[in-house]
Amino acid sequence: MNDCLFCKIGAGQIKSDVVYEDQRVMAFRDLTPKAPVHILIIPKKHIERVSAVTEPDFGIFADLHRAAQHVAKSQNVFESGFRLITNNGKDAGQTVNHLHYHLLGGKAMTWSPV
Protein backbone atom coordinates (compact mmCIF):
# COMPACT_ATOMS: atom_id res chain seq x y z
CA MET A 1 0.00 0.00 0.00
CA ASN A 2 1.34 3.43 -0.90
CA ASP A 3 1.31 6.38 1.48
CA CYS A 4 -1.50 8.31 -0.22
CA LEU A 5 -4.21 9.69 2.10
CA PHE A 6 -7.06 9.36 -0.41
CA CYS A 7 -5.98 5.82 -1.41
CA LYS A 8 -6.30 4.91 2.26
CA ILE A 9 -9.71 6.61 2.53
CA GLY A 10 -10.83 4.87 -0.68
CA ALA A 11 -9.76 1.51 0.74
CA GLY A 12 -11.55 2.19 4.03
CA GLN A 13 -8.27 2.16 5.98
CA ILE A 14 -8.81 5.74 7.17
CA LYS A 15 -12.30 6.66 8.33
CA SER A 16 -14.33 9.23 6.44
CA ASP A 17 -17.96 10.28 6.22
CA VAL A 18 -18.87 8.35 3.07
CA VAL A 19 -21.94 9.55 1.14
CA TYR A 20 -21.53 7.43 -2.01
CA GLU A 21 -19.50 4.41 -3.04
CA ASP A 22 -19.32 2.04 -5.98
CA GLN A 23 -16.67 -0.28 -7.41
CA ARG A 24 -14.42 2.48 -8.73
CA VAL A 25 -15.44 5.66 -6.92
CA MET A 26 -15.90 6.95 -3.39
CA ALA A 27 -17.42 10.23 -2.20
CA PHE A 28 -17.01 11.58 1.32
CA ARG A 29 -17.39 14.83 3.25
CA ASP A 30 -14.47 17.24 3.21
CA LEU A 31 -12.81 17.58 6.63
CA THR A 32 -12.91 21.40 6.44
CA PRO A 33 -16.04 22.23 4.42
CA LYS A 34 -16.10 25.47 2.42
CA ALA A 35 -19.87 25.32 1.84
CA PRO A 36 -22.90 23.67 3.54
CA VAL A 37 -22.39 20.78 1.09
CA HIS A 38 -18.73 19.98 0.41
CA ILE A 39 -18.09 16.47 -0.84
CA LEU A 40 -14.88 15.03 -2.29
CA ILE A 41 -15.29 12.53 -5.12
CA ILE A 42 -12.30 10.28 -5.85
CA PRO A 43 -11.39 7.29 -7.98
CA LYS A 44 -10.28 4.35 -5.84
CA LYS A 45 -7.39 3.90 -8.24
CA HIS A 46 -4.43 6.13 -7.53
CA ILE A 47 -4.18 8.76 -10.25
CA GLU A 48 -2.47 11.99 -9.22
CA ARG A 49 -4.48 14.60 -11.10
CA VAL A 50 -6.46 15.34 -14.29
CA SER A 51 -3.26 15.85 -16.26
CA ALA A 52 -1.99 12.41 -15.21
CA VAL A 53 -4.96 10.51 -16.69
CA THR A 54 -3.94 8.44 -19.71
CA GLU A 55 -5.92 6.75 -22.47
CA PRO A 56 -6.85 3.49 -20.67
CA ASP A 57 -8.23 5.46 -17.70
CA PHE A 58 -10.33 8.16 -19.38
CA GLY A 59 -13.49 6.26 -18.40
CA ILE A 60 -12.83 7.40 -14.85
CA PHE A 61 -14.21 10.83 -15.78
CA ALA A 62 -17.57 9.25 -16.64
CA ASP A 63 -17.48 7.35 -13.35
CA LEU A 64 -16.69 10.51 -11.36
CA HIS A 65 -19.36 12.60 -13.07
CA ARG A 66 -21.96 9.83 -12.67
CA ALA A 67 -21.11 9.76 -8.96
CA ALA A 68 -21.37 13.57 -8.85
CA GLN A 69 -24.95 13.36 -10.11
CA HIS A 70 -25.80 10.75 -7.45
CA VAL A 71 -24.23 12.89 -4.73
CA ALA A 72 -25.91 16.09 -5.91
CA LYS A 73 -29.28 14.32 -5.71
CA SER A 74 -28.66 12.75 -2.30
CA GLN A 75 -27.41 16.06 -0.90
CA ASN A 76 -30.40 17.96 -2.32
CA VAL A 77 -28.44 20.33 -4.55
CA PHE A 78 -29.26 18.72 -7.91
CA GLU A 79 -31.94 21.33 -8.63
CA SER A 80 -30.61 24.30 -6.65
CA GLY A 81 -27.16 24.07 -8.24
CA PHE A 82 -23.69 22.92 -7.35
CA ARG A 83 -20.08 23.50 -8.36
CA LEU A 84 -17.63 20.78 -9.39
CA ILE A 85 -13.97 21.76 -9.02
CA THR A 86 -10.75 19.88 -9.49
CA ASN A 87 -7.46 21.52 -8.59
CA ASN A 88 -4.69 20.34 -10.88
CA GLY A 89 -1.16 20.96 -9.66
CA LYS A 90 0.75 23.68 -7.87
CA ASP A 91 -0.74 26.86 -9.33
CA ALA A 92 -4.26 25.53 -8.76
CA GLY A 93 -3.45 24.86 -5.10
CA GLN A 94 -3.79 21.08 -5.17
CA THR A 95 -2.79 19.83 -1.73
CA VAL A 96 -3.65 16.11 -1.98
CA ASN A 97 -2.00 14.43 -4.94
CA HIS A 98 -4.81 11.99 -5.70
CA LEU A 99 -7.38 13.04 -8.31
CA HIS A 100 -10.52 14.45 -6.69
CA TYR A 101 -13.47 16.66 -7.47
CA HIS A 102 -14.94 19.02 -4.91
CA LEU A 103 -18.74 19.13 -5.10
CA LEU A 104 -19.89 22.35 -3.44
CA GLY A 105 -23.40 23.63 -2.88
CA GLY A 106 -26.13 24.50 -0.44
CA LYS A 107 -25.69 28.25 -0.82
CA ALA A 108 -25.39 30.83 -3.59
CA MET A 109 -21.70 31.06 -4.46
CA THR A 110 -19.70 33.85 -5.96
CA TRP A 111 -17.20 33.22 -8.74
CA SER A 112 -13.77 34.62 -8.09
CA PRO A 113 -11.07 32.01 -8.42
CA VAL A 114 -8.27 34.61 -8.49
Pick the closer one to Zn ion by CB: 74 or 97. Answer: 97
16 binds, among Zn ion, ligand 5GP, none (CB under 5 to 8 A by kind): ligand 5GP
102 is catalytic: no
| From 7, 16, 72, 105, residue interacting with ligand 5GP (rule: CB under 6 A) | 16
Q: Could you give the CA distance from residue 113 to residue 71 in angstroms, rounded to a whole number?
A: 24
Do 20 and 70 form a contact (C-beta atoms < 8 A)? yes
Rg for the chain (alpha carbons), in Å?
A: 14
Least Cα distance to 99 among 22, 23, 9, 14 occurs for: 9
Pick the closer one to Zn ion by CB: 6 or 82. Answer: 6
| From 18, 48, 96, 106, residue interacting with ligand 5GP (rule: CB under 6 A) | 96
The active-site residue out of 38, 98, 100, 102 is 100
For 19, the 3-state DSSP assignment is strand
Instruction: Find residue 25's DSSP bridge partners.
Output: 43
Q: Which residues bind ligand 5GP (CB under 6 A)?
A: 5, 16, 28-32, 40, 87, 93-96
